[in-house]
Amino acid sequence: MNTIKTLFAILFVSVASTAKPQSKAVDSTRFFTEEGIINMSFSTDVRELQNSKGEEVYQTATVSLRFPDSTVINETIRAAARGHFRRDNCVIPPLLLNFHNETSLLLSPLGKLKLVIGCGTATADEQLILKEFLCYKIYNLLTPKSFRARLVRVNYSDTRNKLKSFSQYAFFIEDDNDMAERNGCEKRDKAQFLTESTDRETMTMVAVFEYMISNGDWSVPNNHNTKLIFRKNEQTLPFVVPYDFDHSGFVNAGYALPNELLGTETVTERVYRGFPRTMEELQTTFDIFRKNKEAITSLIMNFSLLASKTRKEAVEYLSQFYTTINNKKEVQNIFIDNARTQ
């Protein structure tokens, strides 16, 4: 009898040790600080998504997330299309996923997250997404007042079977409120400020970074691809936090067109869209970029999901920026003498 009990005990321990981790509510902070890739299945009515009009027009979707520790969460959420250009021109538009539902209790702490996805299904489209993901990771190295991003491998399926299922890398962008909270700030919806009515040091960082990746697709007064966060219980100027970098020269997407106001022929041609700063202010900001140059280069070169040639080209493109900021004559010309004044 003792032998039988012992065998049952061994069997129980063996089964328990091989069982999948028990699902529990996700930690929204760990979700964006852990580096492992999440495998996700996403299913919804794609045509309805493409035809939706307006912002945050939600429809039902089902998701299954497999985390690096093998935990799996299957829940029903709500999804909405984002953007305008890509809603009309892409296979599936960029998405806003709302996890805060009665049907998604385990994923509810994530709130509402933007999912940045490829415009098409080709490998080239996926490479563009991976380059934009790197933009977020680079800016994370420069300042905590930045959106974190989490890479996912998504399998998309259409509930009407009008679109053939396909898999592709994508990434989530941290919730606005979570980003503001970890910086001791709060977000205020539809707050409008002139560019130079924001925190000067942070604005300098934003403008130089946008110049670094050659992104002209942003505006503070119009709340275009920027968010404003405010110190809690303090009467201070807001901080600008940039996002959406797919029209940058660093990404160099085929659909990205140069801003007509900048007078450039390609998006890879850099134009400084910030206001004038003193040489001292600029050098203080440049020092942050210089300090992180090795880490940025390492980040890109070790990102094996990108093709080797693409990684080398990306590093070379950024090296041109470093050559510029290390030349005081060019700095004077670009960031001071010819900076915008209105």
Question: What digits encode the pLDDT tens for the residues 111-146?
Answer: 999 999 998 889 999 999 999 999 999 999 999 999
In a domain, 12, yes or no: no
* Structural domain contains residue 6: no
Q: Is residue 139 part of a domain?
A: yes
Q: Is 197 in contact with 81 (CB distance < 8 Å)? A: no
Both 239 and 217 in one domain: the answer is yes
Res. 169: pLDDT tops 60 = yes
| Domain-embedded: residue 9 | no
Residue 342 lies inside a defined structural domain of this protein = no
Would you call 206 helix, strand, or coil by DSSP?
Answer: helix
The domain boundary residue, chosen from 147, 176, 205:
176
Same structural domain for residues 108 and 136?
yes
97 lies in the same domain as 191: no
Task: Assess whether 140 and 236 both reside in one domain.
Answer: no
**10 in any annotated domain:** no
Q: Are residues 194 and 105 in the same domain?
A: no
pTM of the model: 0.91
- 8: three-class secondary structure by DSSP: helix
Six token digits for residue 7: 């065998």
**Domain carrying residue 285:** 184-337
How high is the pLDDT of residue 274? 96
In whole angstroms, what is the distance from residue 140 CA to residue 274 CA? 20
Q: According to the model, what pLDDT value does residue 186 have?
A: 96
Mean pLDDT across 140-161: 96
Assess whether pLDDT exceeds 80 at residue 29. Answer: yes
Query: Domain for residue 17, yes or no?
Result: no
Q: Do 170 and 192 fall into the same domain? A: no
Instruction: Point out the domain boundary residue: 118, 149, 176.
Output: 176
| Amino acid letter for position 260 | E
Same domain, 79 and 198: no
221 lies in the same domain as 137 = no
**Residue 16, pLDDT above cutoff 70:** no
Report pLDDT for 91.
Answer: 85
> Same domain for 233 and 151?
no
Instruction: Give the separation between CA 283 and CA 229, rounded to whole angstroms.
Output: 25
DSSP annotation of 193 reads: -
C-beta separation of 97 from 156 below 8 A: no
Instruction: Categorize the per-residue pLDDT at 85 as very low, low, confident or very high, splitting at 50, 70 and 90.
Output: low
Half-sphere exposure of 279 (CA within 13 A, CB side): 9
Angle between helices 308-325 and 123-142 (to 10 degrees): 40
What is the reported pLDDT for 13? 40
Across the range 180-184, mean pLDDT stands at 96
The answer as to whether 224 is a domain residue is: yes
40 in the same domain as 122: yes
Same structural domain for residues 328 and 207?
A: yes
- Number of domains composing the chain: 2
Average pLDDT of the residues of the chain: 91
Cα maximum dimension of the chain: 91
Distinct helix (H) and strand (E) counts, the chain: 11, 10
Do 332 and 197 share a domain, yes or no? yes
Question: How sure is the predictor about 50, in pLDDT bands with cuts at 50, 70 and 90?
Answer: confident
The candidate with the shortest Cα–Cα distance to 126, out of 136, 139, 115, 117, is 117
Average pLDDT on 190-202 reads 94
Which of 148, 176, 204 corresponds to the end of one domain?
176
